[in-house]
Amino acid sequence: MVDPATSGDMVPGDFAQGSGFSAGACESGLGVTKRAFVIGSGPNGLAAAIELARAGVRVTVLEAEPTAGGGLRTADLTLPGFAHDLCSAIHPLAASSIAFRCYPLREHGLEWIYPPASAAHPLDGGRCALAEVDVAKTAMRLGQDGSTYRAAVSPLASRWDEVFRDVFAPLHFPRYPGTFMRFGLLSSLPAAVMARILFRTEEARALFAGMATHSVLPLEAPASGGFGWVLTLSAHGVGWPLARGGSQRIADALISYLKSLGGEVVTNHRVNSLRELEQGALILCDVAPRTLVRIAEDRLPEWYARKLARFRYGPGVFKMDWALRAPIPWRNSDCAKTATVHLGGTLEEIADSERAAWRGERHNRPFVLLVQQSQFDSSRAPAGQHTAWAYCHVPNGSNEDMTAQIEAQVERFAPGFQATILARHTMGPAEMEAKNANLVGGDITGGAATVRQLFTRPFLGMYATPVAGLYLCSASTPPGGGAHGMCGYYAARVALNATPRGGVR
Ligand SMILES: Cc1cc2nc3c(=O)[nH]c(=O)nc-3n(C[C@H](O)[C@H](O)[C@H](O)COP(=O)(O)OP(=O)(O)OC[C@H]3O[C@@H](n4cnc5c(N)ncnc54)[C@H](O)[C@@H]3O)c2cc1C
């Protein structure tokens, strides 16, 4: 189990030294490259910049938008006094991140809030499965599935840190082979198949299905089971925290730490061509593969540009934020014990909704991921009032308005919800992409996490490009989506290891 209190402390232990991908420690000083630019200030761009700065490189982060942070931004979207997370809201991955845990983020203003439970999954008739941080308490509520749940989850949840280190890394020989094999066995089946084989109750099946939907894959897809376990294990191994004051505080802490190392962040600077940047500098791109093709112009060999252009994106999201006059009136009060609530009913209903998004169809009862930040962080709304955040998956680039469908799903498990709404804000795929060019067609994970694109994204070369000194470091590289910064961390280390002592210039 990762001790939340260690956020900001050095992580003990280390992967084998020397290989480009296996670094797991906090040491710096891998090379002495003198100048670098990072394009994009999402969690991966900032982690990459910090790793470079820790190695003594002078780094400038260039960000297209007026506010830095990418998927970590928080903004006033509805009424004065209400703070809404534009993208990411819940942070088991950031709290577990080997990179972020190396940095003194607490000293730079980051405070995690851990709700008592990680996620709730209400079902019709007032029932509710609750993923508490304690595995035994969670299992106790799952009836005849309790012992199976405990047997599957306990051994790995207690080793969550080991799971994280081997899963949230590019392909490598596992540092913890026993733990990794156990995780691999559990993850060998698609989520829907695994849930049906392991569990008998609607509660346990639905709880696991809800976890697996974070993959943004159909629950019959091979990799969906692995995502289900990662989310389940993180729910017990670290908990699902939010940042006091908003996800922006994570970005602000990263930026503050970067500045303390001599780095700088320039906002309102969209890079349209690599020619704009000082020649000879290292360049790490926290951008979508197709943006890299565009800004590199003729620098990339044609075969490589073609590969990047073929990179596959998954469904998009339709997102809503609400200002509420009161807490959400959940039918089952267990839903108030957690910030994250999975709304979509049974495994069958959820699987149907996720398949539709992949088929390019609108679903009238979509699976909805809802977060109620102000329930645990009173700084998000004026006294007595609340915020809520939710999204559902929709076909990539869809322009359907899903407001009615999302609100109907909330109302289904919280009758009277609509009467609490003071104001609402909606963003479909086009608006999401307009606020962040990396969200191609509304895809929030940097590209589909299909087996083919899971470990070798955007393809075999991963971080390195055929152009010396030019690297990709966004969620379109391993280990993929999520606000963990591990793509940037590994990309920077590969870049530094590839750079001869003395630097590029
Ligand atoms: C609605 C939504 C909900 C999410 N929920 C969660 C969650 O709860 N927990 C979680 O862990 N993850 C969540 N995620 C995923 C997470 O936010 C992303 O996986 C993560 O932010 C990816 O980080 P990144 O650094 O690769 O890219 P991003 O965070 O997307 O940042 C990329 C940055 O690059 C900038 N940029 C792009 N092109 C250029 C250019 N040409 N010049 C200059 N700058 C450029 C963009 O403006 C952006 O700021 C969510 C995402 C979304 C959209």
pLDDT, tens digit (0-9, with 9 covering 90-100), for 284-324: 999 999 999 999 999 999 999 999 999 999 999 999 999 99
Measured CA to CA, the distance from residue 181 to residue 334 in angstroms comes to: 34
Q: How far is CA 65 from the centre of its chain?
A: 20
Tell whether ligand 1 has an atom less than 6 A from the beta carbon of residue 481: yes
Q: Which two tokens stand for residue 123?
A: 């079902």
Tell whether ligand 1 has an atom less than 6 A from the beta carbon of residue 232: no
Q: Per-residue b/e over 459-474, b at no fewer than 16 CB within 10 Å?
A: eebbbbbeeebbbbbb
Determine the pLDDT at residue 462: 87
Taking the centre of ligand 1 as the mean of its atom positions, its distance from the CA of residue 277, in whole angstroms, is 22
Determine the pLDDT at residue 18: 28
Residue 234: CB atoms within 10 Å: 27
8 Å CB contact between 286 and 82: no
Measured CA to CA, the distance from residue 41 to residue 64 in angstroms comes to: 9
63 exposed, middle or buried (CB, 10 Å; 0-12, 13-18, 19+)?
buried
CA angle 151, 153, 159 (to 5 degrees): 115
Tell whether ligand 1 has an atom less than 6 A from the beta carbon of residue 248: no
Tell whether ligand 1 has an atom less than 6 A from the beta carbon of residue 241: no
Please list, in sequence order, all residues whose beta carbon lies within 8 angstroms of the beta carbon of residue 351, skipping any fewer than 6 positions away. Answer: 192, 209, 218, 219, 220
Measured CA to CA, the distance from residue 433 to residue 287 in angstroms comes to: 12
Measured CA to CA, the distance from residue 50 to residue 47 in angstroms comes to: 5
Q: Which two tokens stand for residue 328?
A: 């959400």
Tell whether ligand 1 has an atom less than 6 A from the beta carbon of residue 369: no
Cα dist. 302→4, 273, 309, 467 in Å?
47, 17, 10, 12
Total-model pTM: 0.93
Determine the pLDDT at residue 28: 43
DSSP 305: H
Determine the pLDDT at residue 341: 98
| Torsion (CA) 339, 340, 341, 346 in degrees, nearest 10 | -150
Cα dist. 309→78, 387, 398 in Å?
37, 39, 20
The number of the ligand 1 atom at minimal distance from the alpha carbon of 371 is: 8
Determine the pLDDT at residue 277: 96
Tell whether ligand 1 has an atom less than 6 A from the beta carbon of residue 71: yes
> Which of these, 246, 293, 295, lies nearest to 62 by C-alpha position?
295
Q: Spell out the per-residue pLDDT of the chain, length 505, in tens.
A: 333 333 333 332 222 222 333 333 344 444 455 899 999 999 999 999 999 999 999 999 999 999 999 999 999 999 999 999 999 999 999 999 999 999 999 999 999 999 999 999 999 999 999 999 999 999 999 999 999 999 999 999 999 999 999 999 998 999 999 999 999 999 999 999 999 999 999 999 999 999 999 999 999 999 999 999 999 999 999 999 999 999 999 999 999 999 999 999 999 999 999 999 999 999 999 999 999 999 999 999 999 999 999 999 999 999 999 999 999 999 999 999 999 999 999 999 999 999 999 999 999 999 999 999 999 999 999 999 999 999 999 999 999 999 999 999 999 999 999 999 999 999 999 999 999 999 999 999 999 998 888 878 898 778 999 999 999 999 999 999 999 999 999 999 999 988 654 343 3
Measured CA to CA, the distance from residue 477 to residue 497 in angstroms comes to: 17
The length of the chain in residues reads 505
- DSSP E strand stretches across 173-212: none
Tell whether ligand 1 has an atom less than 6 A from the beta carbon of residue 234: no
Taking the centre of ligand 1 as the mean of its atom positions, its distance from the CA of residue 42, in whole angstroms, is 5
Taking the centre of ligand 1 as the mean of its atom positions, its distance from the CA of residue 501, in whole angstroms, is 32
- Give the CA count within 13 Å in the CB-facing half-sphere of 189: 11
Looking at ligand 1, which residue's alpha carbon is closest to its atom 7?
88
